[in-house]
Structure 1
């Protein structure tokens, strides 16, 4: 395989001009700062600002990561949804801790969240599933996520069957559909600088309050 080094070096990085940020006057709660940064990313035209990387660990302690969508942010933490039978669902059930990473290159910012993971209630899971579009519900009902697939035709047939079942019974809910919440122990805000003089501010949970620490770039 041809090495990529010569192709990678000329590529631009950290080209954005971030909005002003003074960590010395940051809010006491990291959720408030996240909402502010998220809003600025949206205003700047960041594509899919709610996309985030979810990192988990398997039974052998090997990390695993994938990109999915933020469902909500509440006082409890950051919410996402998935089948409990998926790889991430199995890993979260066995070891309910996770990390989330948001990266918004349009504003040169990133946020990292680490913490314990809890599940939504049966009613919350059902409500979230029912709010999904028909196609998304059909996929959730008709496909055993992450399992080996024989052919594309096999998956299309299973999803079409699930869509017909939903058409006949709109109240159907996937028994494995689960809301998950990352309850943060630490939240780190990173703002880029073209000269690599990045700003980093870490919030650490202290029970009902938070402490903040400036970090070297």
Structure 2
């Protein structure tokens, strides 16, 4: 297996250029630039790994969808009763990791998390596709499923409820806002001299720092 793992290529032959000296003053500007560029080349560029910790301090991670970038906040959404929602309630800090191997790029950010206003969360929910709304009303995320037929029944019940109550969001549906204290941009290089640029929050501004590969 070790030989197989070493034999797989990590990145394509052609990689985009990145000169940290020309990076904008805020990570938001560079993030949107890289995100839009990735959208032209890779599938689901808005998929992001959300990392949290549980009540015992054990890390947990899963892939979710980025909902928005507003000012200095990155938004994701889930039920407050889901494992990640419960974890964020106990420890309102998180890390987000974007990885686009087709472009040899990774973006990491971490910082405190806060819930958006209820009306913002409700608007997030009602903008979801019907099937996604039904899924949210099924609930019981990550609980043990004893019989697949139970899921079918719960899904049908949730579907009927959504049809009878259009535009109604669960009270537990929450848009979470991550306000990063630092954001790192990583550009792969075939000579292994990868370029890393970190933005660190310094009061109301950002400090840019180059990092060793």
TM range (shorter): over 0.9
Q: How does 1:73-88 map to 2 (within 5 A)?
A: 73-88=69-84
Equivalent residue for 1:6?
3
Describe the shift of the 1:75–1:16 C-alpha distance in structure 2 as closer, same or farther (beyond 3 A). farther
Deviation at 1:171, TM superposition (A): 2.9
Question: Are residue 150 (structure 1) and residue 127 (structure 2) matched?
Answer: no
Name the TM-score, length of structure 2 as normaliser: 0.97
Distance 2:139 2:119 in 1: 22
Q: How does 1:107-122 map to 2 (within 5 A)?
A: 107-122=103-118
CA distance in 2, matches of 1:75, 1:188: 17
Determine if contact 1:14/1:193 at 8 Å carries over to the other structure: no
Cα distance in 2 between the residues matched to 1:76 and 1:23 = 20
- Indicate whether 1:165 and 2:161 are aligned: yes
Residue 85 of structure 2 aligns to a residue in which SS? helix
Distance 1:177 1:21 in 2: 38
Q: Which runs of 5+ in 2 are unaligned?
A: none
**C-alpha contact (below 8 Å) 2:50/2:64 kept by paired residues:** yes
- Structure 1 position 42 matched with structure 2 position 23: no
Residues 156-193 of structure 1: per-residue CA shift (max 9 Å, x gap)? 11011011011112132112110001101000000001
In the alignment, does 2:190 pair up with 1:194?
Answer: yes
1:176 maps to what in 2? 172
Question: Of residues 10, 20, 24 in structure 2, which corresponds to 1:23?
Answer: 20
For residues 88-103 of structure 1, what are the structure 2 equivalents within 5 Å? 88-103=84-99
RMSD: 1.0
Q: Which runs of 5+ in 1 are unaligned?
A: none
Provide the TM-score with structure 1 as the length reference. 0.95
